[in-house]
């Protein structure tokens, strides 16, 4: 049976919960609809996170991202919704979602949303945080 879009994010136990490490994902085929015109908006989602007790299962993430294909959403709203849903499912130590939307009307839009778990010190962030910031401007 073929896969279908889903709003469920499945998780699995972090195999190294005592260590801070980076998980980096790029989703180059994100689409949603412009809430004003109904035309498709295309983006690359860049997800970086430091897991705590759970990691996101990749197939469920793919099906979750697919669920936005027919939904109208402003870039800012959809980026924050995805981050909120991932934070709710994973409770990560740190997470950043960068949504790089392709040109529309001569304008490229990039929305960056972050979450830091209460009590987790930013000084303990791995070096990738600065690397990701410079990469999001490419």
Please state whether the predicted TM-score (pTM) of the whole model is above 0.95: no
Rounded CA gap, 100 and 27, in Å? 10
Per-residue pLDDT tens digits for 26-68: 999 999 999 999 999 999 999 999 999 999 999 999 999 999 9
Q: Please, which pLDDT band fits residue 11 given cuts at 50, 70 and 90?
A: very high
Please give the C-alpha separations between residue 7 and each of 29, 60, 100, in angstroms, as whole numbers. Answer: 17, 8, 21
pLDDT tens digits, residue range 98-122? 999 999 889 999 999 999 999 988 6
Contact present, 129 and 96 (Cβ < 8 Å): yes
pLDDT digits (tens, 9 = 90+) for 62-92: 999 999 999 999 999 999 999 999 999 999 9
Q: Report pLDDT for 74.
A: 96
Handedness of CA 57, 125, 80, 54 (dihedral sign): positive
Instruction: Report all structural domains of the chain as residue ranges with CATH numbers, in order of start.
Output: 11-131 (3.30.1130.10)
| Total length of the chain | 138
Residue 3's pLDDT band, with cuts at 50, 70 and 90, is confident
- Has residue 132 got a pLDDT over 80? no
The answer on pLDDT for 19 being more than 70 is yes
Question: 134: part of which helix (H) or strand (E)?
Answer: helix 128-135
The residues that are catalytic are 34, 41
User: How confident is the model at residue 138, as a pLDDT?
Assistant: 47
């Amino acid at each position: 049976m073929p896969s279908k879009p889903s709003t469920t994010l499945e998780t699995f136990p972090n195999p190294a919960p005592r260590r801070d490490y980076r998980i980096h994902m790029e989703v180059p085929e994100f689409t949603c609809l412009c809430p004003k015109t109904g035309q498709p908006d295309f983006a690359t989602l860049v997800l970086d996170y430091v897991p705590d007790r759970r990691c996101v299962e990749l197939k469920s993430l793919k099906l979750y991202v697919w669920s936005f294909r027919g939904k109208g959403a402003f870039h800012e709203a959809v980026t924050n919704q995805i981050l909120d849903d991932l934070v709710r499912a994973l409770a990560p130590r740190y997470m950043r979602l960068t949504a790089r939307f392709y040109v529309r009307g001569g304008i490229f839009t990039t929305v960056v949303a972050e979450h830091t778990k209460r009590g987790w010190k930013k000084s303990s962030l791995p070096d990738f945080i600065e690397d990701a910031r410079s990469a999001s401007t490419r």
